[in-house]
Amino acid sequence: MLYHRPEQTDQAGFYGAWCRLQPAQRAPEVDEAGLYLDHAGMWLCMPGFPQPYRPSDAELLRRAGHGGSRTELARACGSDLTGLNVLDACAGYGSDGLLLAQLGARVCLVERDRLIWMLLHHRAQHMPRTETICDEARNVLQGPLSDDDSPSVNAWNVVLLDPMFPPIAKKALPNRGLQHLRQLTENSLVGNAKAEEELPELLALAKARCSGRVVIKRRLKDRVTGRADWQISGKSVRFDVYLGEA
């Protein structure tokens, strides 16, 4: 369900093909996951949370403006990203892929969960050099080639793979946004053992369609998939980098 302010009816209508629409003056408390659209943007409404959640665009712009090209992510992808075609194959809220777009790349963001994709699409639609696709990463990596000048091209310069980290036994909860991602995908392959088994297949597909680098984002102590050409580590995550074969 997409709840929306009455004055946002036209904007909400775009999403009518993917969900039911319901006018509402304010974000409701919900029994199942839904979205709310108002003048500030699109919000995620989750059961048990009286306040809706929205990823921070201000934080994204802050990251881009304060050393964005020197972050571990940018260095793993190649630092000078201007004009590169990037596929963010497991985009989620798009925080990493949209940062790469802010740094000059042309980014295709892929998200398979419909609600998360709608939130991502609305977030990205006013950002330059971006497109979003609601589909499985595997389908996009195996999909037909593009004849135009969009980021969906024969070979990407960079493919970013950032599947949900597998759960670990610890008391501290992840931040609220990641909690919601895990809740929405807990019945899918994301974040479970089977998803970990699929990662080598995604890596092989990505390398075959990438002319530059395939980058896998992992926690520091997570096992390495295959044999990485090199790694770049931060405080809590690392980026395993593989050379493409396209």
The pLDDT of residue 190: 42
> Taking a C-beta distance cutoff of 8 angstroms, is the pair 59, 96 a contact?
no
pLDDT at 51 over 60: yes
Q: Which of 75, 62, 66, 53 is nearest to 180 (CA)?
A: 53
pLDDT digits (tens, 9 = 90+) for 193-215: 555 678 999 999 999 999 999 99
> Taking a C-beta distance cutoff of 8 angstroms, is the pair 84, 105 a contact?
yes
Residue 189's pLDDT band (cuts 50, 70, 90):
very low
pLDDT at 221 over 60: yes
Does residue 104 sit in the same domain as residue 210? Answer: yes
Does residue 237 sit in the same domain as residue 125? Answer: yes
Mean pLDDT in residue range 34-45: 96
Within-domain flag for 50: no
Does residue 204 sit in the same domain as residue 114? Answer: yes
Does residue 128 sit in the same domain as residue 103? Answer: yes
Does residue 96 sit in the same domain as residue 140? Answer: yes
| Direct distance between the N- and C-terminal alpha carbons of the chain, in angstroms, rounded to an integer | 41
Within-domain flag for 93: yes
Does residue 126 sit in the same domain as residue 19? Answer: no
Cα 33 from Cα 3, distance rounded (Å):
11
The pLDDT of residue 121: 97
pLDDT at 54 over 90: yes
The residue segments making up the domain with residue 13 are 2-45
* Amino acid in the structure at residue 13: G
Does residue 81 sit in the same domain as residue 174? Answer: yes
Does residue 21 sit in the same domain as residue 67? Answer: no
Mean pLDDT in residue range 106-129: 95
Backbone angles phi, psi at 144, to 5 degrees: -65, 155
The pLDDT of residue 187: 52
Cα 32 from Cα 20, distance rounded (Å):
13
Mean pLDDT in residue range 154-178: 76
| Of 181 and 241, the one with more pLDDT | 241
pLDDT at 58 over 90: no
Cα 197 from Cα 55, distance rounded (Å):
29
Tell the residue number behind the tokens 């000078």, with chain if given.
80
Kind of pairing between the strands at 230-233 and 237-243: antiparallel
pLDDT at 23 over 50: yes
Q: What is each CA distance from 210 to 71, 188, 201, 203, 213, in whole angstroms?
A: 22, 27, 14, 10, 7
Does residue 195 sit in the same domain as residue 81? Answer: yes
pLDDT digits (tens, 9 = 90+) for 102-112: 999 999 999 99
Cα 100 from Cα 94, distance rounded (Å):
10
For helices 95-102 and 57-65, give the axis angle rounded to 10 degrees: 50
The pLDDT of residue 151: 46
The pLDDT of residue 194: 55
As a whole number, the mean pLDDT across the chain is 88
Tell the residue number behind the tokens 């080598």, with chain if given.
200
pLDDT at 235 over 50: yes
pLDDT at 150 over 70: no
Does residue 232 sit in the same domain as residue 111? Answer: yes
Within-domain flag for 52: no
* Amino acid in the structure at residue 154: N
Within-domain flag for 71: yes
> Taking a C-beta distance cutoff of 8 angstroms, is the pair 47, 35 a contact?
no
Does residue 26 sit in the same domain as residue 64? Answer: no
The pLDDT of residue 181: 86
Cα 118 from Cα 108, distance rounded (Å):
15
CATH code of residue 219: 3.40.50.150
Cα 84 from Cα 158, distance rounded (Å):
7
Domain count, the chain: 2
| E-state strands within the chain | 2-4, 21-23, 34-38, 41-45, 85-88, 106-111, 130-134, 156-161, 210-219, 230-233, 237-243
pLDDT at 240 over 90: yes
Q: Which of 200, 181, 201 is nearest to 191 (CA)?
A: 181
